[in-house]
Structure formats: structure tokens, C-alpha cells
Structure 1
Amino acid sequence: MTSKIHVALCFDTNFWAPAYAVMRSICLSTSRRKELVFHLLHMPLTAEQRTDLEGIVGEFGSELAFYPLGEMDSFGDFVAGLPRSGRWPSVVYARLMLPDLLPQTVERVIYLDCDTLVRAPIEQLYAADLGGQPLGAVQEALSPFIPLRRDMRENADIFDGAEPYFNSGVLVIDLAQWRTLDMKAQIGALEASRVLSRLYFDQDMLNLIFRERWQALSWRWNTIDAHQAHEALNPAILHFTQASKPWHLTAGILHSTAYARWYRHVMTNKLFYRFAAHRRRRWLRRLLRLER
């Protein structure tokens, strides 16, 4: 009997196509496609967007599990009062609820941001030795700038710049250990200490909650700020944290975004250009102030 490989993504209606590309890149990079279970924590999707995502099942035989966050009172209660912005909507906090939302039989899960691209067998990451820790992650390339903020001293009373600080875009999570934590209470403690509004969203929260309780993974599993120069290093997971994303039409021409052409074909030309049209319509609605 083969074991399942569990992967979680969190996204809203504006990131359904990148979520599809992440899943398809995983399936193209492993021979264990039928053992994959994708847990999709999402805000409301259109029927067409859901059909796009379900294409993974038809092409590869993987399993999808949908979690409609907008219909869950528990999610609304959890994110109420947490910092957010246009770039960082409330759905980013869904990863903090994975221990509660995923079936209790799931003991380990890989979480991936939707601006990642997988190029190596995901089962290698899934089997990573966490050294008894509840979390595996890659050290943030921009530390200590991100935790300490302006002049690397703004949050010096919260973080120690000499301490390792991880990027939360790729996580290997021991759910059994996470379930022993009361995440809501942990965040409540941060709020009570009056530091919550000063944090860099969920990434800072996770670094504080799991301070000295995470296992460092190889940079190959989260190649941050992925540029074309990284292609020579054979990265396992690319993380497009820069402003230019691989789904931008000029990513591989005007910008040095790694594997831009490769990415377009992973998303498929049909969906790539339909997603581009979606983004143009959204830009126009924002310009006309019809959408925030």
C-alpha cells in the first residue's frame, strides 16, 4: 500500500491559475502523481476556475480536496483583527489553520505559496528529516532586513537579528505537533503584547511562535527571489518573491525571472493568456475604483 503525499495551497480568486501551475509543476516533477493529495484552502471560486483546477485530476490522477474558507465561520473568527493589505489579504493566514482544517489522519503536509514552481520530486521534501521539530523551512534570504525592518533596528525589541529567521513560503509541517498548540491563543498573546500590528503578517508570527523550534532545510527547496542566474544551480523549488512574477508577459524579456518560458508552458498557454486577460480586467476595475 502506497502512502499519500499531502500538499496545501491557500489562495483567492485572483490566484487560481498560479495555484494550478504549482500543482502541475509538482505532478510533472514526480512519478508518484496518483499519491498526491492537494488541499486547496480558497476563497470563492467561479465554476470555470474550479474546473481549471480539477484538470489536475483528469491529467494526472491526483486527488483534490477543496476548503471554501468564505463559508467557514471559524476562518472569519480566526482572521478578525489580523493585519492585512491589498497585497496580503486574509487568506494568507489560512496556513495557520491547517492543523484544524485538514483531516486528523493527515500527520504531515507541505505548504507552498502560489508564487512557487517545483522542479524536483516533491516526495524528497515530504520525507525531510525535521529533527524532531514541528516545522521545516528555509532561512530567509533577506534576513535580518525583513524582521528588523527600517535600518534593521525598527523591531529590534521583538527579533534578534543574529537569530535564524525562515521564509514561510515553503513549509514542511508536522501536524501532530502543531495540533498540540493553540494557534489562536498564540496569536492572542502577540496581540496582548502589542506587537501584532508591527509584524510582517503571518511570516513574522510563525517565526515568533516557532522560535528555536524549526529545522533548517536546504536553500534548494525554497530558492528565494528566483532570477535566471539561479537556473545554473538546479533549484528544487523556485520562489518568485520579486515584483516580477513568471505569469507577467514580460517576465523573461524585460526582467530576469527564472524559468519564465518554462512556467508559461507549465500553466499551459491557454490558461496563461486567460489569466493575463483576468489580470488586465482587474487592473481596469481598480483604475475605475470598482474594485479594491
Structure 2
Amino acid sequence: MTTTEPINIVVASNNFYAILLGALVKSIELTHKTAEKIDLYIIDDGISKESRENIRASASEEVIRMKWFKSASVIPDNLVKVPSDKSAMPMTTYLRIFAPYILPEGTKRYIYLDVDMILQEDISKLWNSDLGDNMVGAVQDISKTVSNSWAGIPNYKELGMPPETKYFNAGLLVVDQEKWLKEDMTNQVIQCLYDNGPYVNLADQYGLNVVLYQKWKELDPRWNTFANDVIEVPDPFLIHFLDIKPIYRAYNGNKRFGDEFYKCLKLTPWKNHKPIPEYVRISRKTFSKMKKIFFSYLK
């Protein structure tokens, strides 16, 4: 990558988590010190006009150029539809596998980020990661291996994967766009979810780990530091709020990381945000789960 090429970043958000995207955008701006422009491709899964304006105001357009895409428009007609799962994870999470279809023709690489993250290091260093011959760069998940009993790949043996096979977190991906499209990976992930329905764990993260087996490069773990990890990381490059988000009163992650989140948020139009009560969080998770179950019966 050269300093004349923009850094391509893709994110996806619904309206409720737009506030998280505001903090992420601000953190990217604050930590970016090199000359590259940043092109931020936002897959909009129902973000309100007000929230869009707040996100736009969260960073200077001189640093971050935002490009918006409605979620319904990012899925090509020739792709198989994503199967519904019965988890409480919003369907928005699946949108990351459609990222290649919104990028300009000729794009060689992009970074995908979950919105529940903030940067502590210049994104250009991640952008310039050496992937070797691999299709994707990622960080090993908190669950460590495919044989993990509460995450991982429940049917790893049937798929021919050794139990010690490392399992990555899909919240941060550095993707070789050309390889991805050449091997039609989006369709491969979706088909994998259909083929292994009873075993699917953590939505598309399951499919990504299966189809990218032996095709991903392990990155420095500091590029995806989990806020709820019991091991203290003194110098994270990126903080990932995997569990209860810091916008809630019930936030249960590292306090220092939560403070870092609010340092960023206070520099956005959401500067007066007050943590949300626990009953709101629970009701939203329940609604998300019931909505997916309902639509699964309609298919």
C-alpha cells in the first residue's frame, strides 16, 4: 500500500448502534497521523437522518470521507439469501460479508470493523499489514480454538479441522478484495451456514472461520483487544467491546477501556449521552431474537 491510496474501511450499523459508530469514527480521526485519506463505507441498516448527521459531524471530512449505502442495496441479486439464526445478534452483523460489493471496481484491500470498537493506534499500521498469500488478516478470538465448548466450531471434527485450530474474531478483518471476489467467498460463507445449520455458532463468524480455514493470517492481538478479557492489555491498538457495550449502565468490561470510549464520545454530537438502563438492553436483545425467529418461519 502506498500513501497516495486511500485507506478503505467498511462498517455496518443499525440506528441503535449509530452512537457507537460515532465514537469509532472519532477515534479513527484522533489516531490517524499519516498522509492517507480514509474512505469510510457505511452500510446503513436503518440509521435515522439525525444519527447520520451526528456520525458525519463526528469527524472532519478532510480526514474521513463517508460513503453511505442502504443495507437492502448491498446484496447482489445472484447471491443466496442469508439464513436466519435464533441468536440475539442483529441481522446487521451479517452485512460484513457483503462489503466487497460496495467497493469501487479495482479495489485491492479493505478493512472491516465492527462498530463497537475504538482505535488507540493509527489505522494506517493495520492497513499496511502483510497478509502474505492469505485472503484475510484477523485476530484470534477470546475463545481461542475451534474446539472451544461455548463458541468455536461445534462440528469441527466432521469438517476435518484439528481441535487446536485457531479461531478468529470476525469483528476486525483485513481483506484481500481480489482474492475474495475471485473465490466467491460471500456465497461460500452463506452456503456454509445452510449446510451446517444445526451447528452454526455466532452467526456468520462460524461460516467465516470454516471457509477461511488455512486462508487467514493471525495479526498482532493488540489489533482486537477485548474489553471483557480478564487479561489486562497495557497498550491496545484497538479496543473491542464484545459483551455489554459501554453505552449501557450494565457495562461489564474493563473500566479504563470504558473511559477511553467516553473520551471519544464526548467529542461527538453524542457528548451528553447518559448510560442506558439495563431493561432497555434486555428488551432489545429479546426483540432482535424474536424478530429473527419470526422471519425464519416465514421462509
TM-score by length of 1: 0.83
Aligned-pair identity in percent equals: 21
8 Å CA contact retained: 2:153, 2:199: no
Distance 1:164 1:116, change over 3 A: same
Tell whether 2:135 aligns with 1:134: yes
Query: Equivalents in 2 of 1:219, 1:286: separation in Å?
Result: 31
Q: 1:22-79 CA distances to partner (integer Å, 9 max, x unpaired)?
A: 1111110112476011111121221100101111454754200111113556389654
Equivalence for 2:97: 96
Superposition deviation, residue 185 in structure 1? 3.6
8 Å CA contact retained: 2:22, 2:54: yes
Question: Match of 1:2, as an amino acid?
Answer: T
In structure 2, stretches of 5+ residues that fail to align are 292-299
Equivalence for 1:271: 270
* Superposition map of 1:104-123 within 5 A: 104-123=105-124
Equivalence for 2:85: 83
Equivalence for 1:172: 174
| Greater RCO, 1 or 2 (C-alpha within 8 Å, sep 6+) | 2
Query: Equivalents in 1 of 2:259, 2:237: separation in Å?
Result: 17
Query: Equivalents in 2 of 1:255, 1:57: separation in Å?
Result: 26
* Secondary structure of residue in 1 paired with 2:166: coil
Identify the range of structure 1 (124-133 vs 62-71) with the bigger mean alpha-carbon deviation: 62-71
How many residue pairs are counted as aligned between the two chains? 284
Query: Equivalents in 2 of 1:136, 1:163: separation in Å?
Result: 16
Match of 1:9 among 3, 8, 11: 11
Query: Equivalents in 2 of 1:99, 1:106: separation in Å?
Result: 9
Question: Match of 2:16, as an amino acid?
Answer: N
Tell whether 2:110 aligns with 1:149: no
8 Å CA contact retained: 1:41, 1:67: yes
Distance 1:91 1:286, change over 3 A: closer
8 Å CA contact retained: 1:226, 1:257: no
Equivalence for 1:65: 67
8 Å CA contact retained: 1:230, 1:258: no
* Secondary structure of residue in 2 paired with 1:24: helix
Query: Equivalents in 2 of 1:126, 1:92: separation in Å?
Result: 22
Equivalence for 1:260: 258
Equivalence for 1:44: 46
8 Å CA contact retained: 2:137, 2:174: yes
Question: Match of 1:265, as an amino acid?
Answer: K
Equivalence for 1:241: 242
Deviating beyond 6 angstroms after TM superposition, the runs of 4 or more aligned structure 1 residues are none
Query: Equivalents in 2 of 1:151, 1:25: separation in Å?
Result: 29
Query: Equivalents in 2 of 1:154, 1:72: separation in Å?
Result: 30
Question: Match of 1:170, as an amino acid?
Answer: L
8 Å CA contact retained: 1:225, 1:239: yes
* Secondary structure of residue in 2 paired with 1:211: coil
* Secondary structure of residue in 2 paired with 1:109: strand
Query: Equivalents in 2 of 1:6, 1:228: separation in Å?
Result: 32
Superposition deviation, residue 135 in structure 1? 0.4
Superposition deviation, residue 83 in structure 1? 2.2
Question: Match of 1:271, as an amino acid?
Answer: W
Distance 1:38 1:184, change over 3 A: closer
Superposition deviation, residue 149 in structure 1? 3.3
TM-score by length of 2: 0.81
Superposition deviation, residue 20 in structure 1? 1.4
8 Å CA contact retained: 2:45, 2:71: yes
8 Å CA contact retained: 2:193, 2:204: no
Identify the range of structure 1 (268-277 vs 202-211) with the bigger mean alpha-carbon deviation: 268-277
Question: Match of 1:168, as an amino acid?
Answer: A
Superposition deviation, residue 111 in structure 1? 0.8
Q: 1:216-274 CA distances to partner (integer Å, 9 max, x unpaired)?
A: 1111111124459635x21101112133x2223464xx753342122112012751544
Question: Match of 1:262, as an amino acid?
Answer: E
- Higher fraction of helix: 1
In structure 1, stretches of 5+ residues that fail to align are none
